[in-house]
Amino acid sequence: MPKVIRILGAVSFVFAAICLAGCGAATKHSSASVNKPLILPETTSGKPKIVAFGDSLTAGFGLTENESYPYLLQQKLKADGFDYEVINAGVSGDTSQGGLERVDWALGMDNVKILVLELGGNDLLRGIPVAKMKSNLDQIIGKAQAKGVKVLLCGMLAPPTMGTQYQRDYISAFPDLAEDHHISFLPFLLDNIALKKELNQADGIHPNAEGEKIMTDNVYKELKKML
C-alpha cells in the first residue's frame, strides 16, 4: 500500500503533462483507430490463442512490433514451453466503450482461451464517469466468460487531481470487477515503470522498449498462473 501511495503522489505532479500527451493522442485516433479494424489480426496457426486486448499500451504505441508487450509475451511463453499464440488486439486511443464495441470481433477468432483486458486509461484521461467505464468492462468480461474464455484484468491508478471521489471509485473499479467475476487480476499494469523517465517515451505515459519488458513481466507473472 505505501508503494501505491507514493506512486499516486507522484502521478498527481505530472498528470497535467500526461493529459496533454494522452488526450491529444486519443483525439487523434478517436475517429478511426477506435473503430473495429477492417481485418482480423494475422494468425499463424490453430494453436490456442491469448488475445491482448487494450489501447496504446497493448498496441505498442511508438515502438516496433518486436518491442511491444504482446510480442515479448509470445517469446516468454515459447521459452517456457507454453504452446499459445498471442494476438495483439490493441488499438491506440481506445476507451472501454470502443473495446465493448469490438470485443465480439476479437472473441470471434478461433480457439481463443484467454483475454488479457487492458482498458480504462483513456477513460481516465477523458474524465469519463467511472460507472460508465465499469459497466463497459463488466460487459466485456461477461462476453468473454460466456464463450468460456478466461480473463486477466489489468488495473490502473488515478491521480488525486481527478478529485477524491473519482480517484477512489476509479481505483476500486478494477478489483471490484475482478472479485465480482472471479477472474485473475493484475493490480497495476505499469508497476515499476510509471514515472520513471528512463523507462518511458518522451510523452511520459507510454513505456519505451525497456519499459515494455517490465510490463511484459508484470502481465506474465499473473498470466502464468492461468496456464
For residue 74, the number of C-alpha atoms closer than 13 Å in the C-beta half-sphere is 17
- The CATH number of 2-34+45-226 is 3.40.50.1110
User: With 70 as the cut, is the pLDDT of residue 24 above it?
Assistant: no
- Examine the pLDDT at 43 and tell me if it is beyond 90: no
Res 117: pLDDT:
98
- Give catalytic status of residue 182 as yes or no: no
Domain boundaries, the chain: 2-34+45-226
Confidence of residue 37 (pLDDT cuts 50, 70, 90): very low
Catalytic-labelled residue, pool 33, 169, 191, 206: 206
Percent of the chain clearing pLDDT 70 (strictly above): 80
Residue 56 annotated to the active site: yes
The dihedral formed by the CA atoms of 81, 87, 90 and 91, expressed in degrees to the nearest 10 = 160
User: What is the tens place of the pLDDT at every residue in 144-184?
Assistant: 999 999 999 999 999 999 999 999 999 999 999 999 999 99
Answer yes or no: are the C-beta atoms of 154 and 216 closer than 8 Å.
no
pLDDT at residue 16 is higher than 50: no
Q: What is the mean pLDDT of residues 111-135?
A: 97
Q: Which of 196, 198, 184, 190 is nearest to 56 (CA)?
A: 190
The answer to whether residue 17 scores a pLDDT higher than 60 is no
CA–CA gap between residue 152 and residue 199 (Å, rounded): 24
Name the active-site residue from 29, 33, 56, 94: 56
**Set 12, 30, 138, 203: catalytic member:** 203
Q: Is 206 a catalytic residue?
A: yes
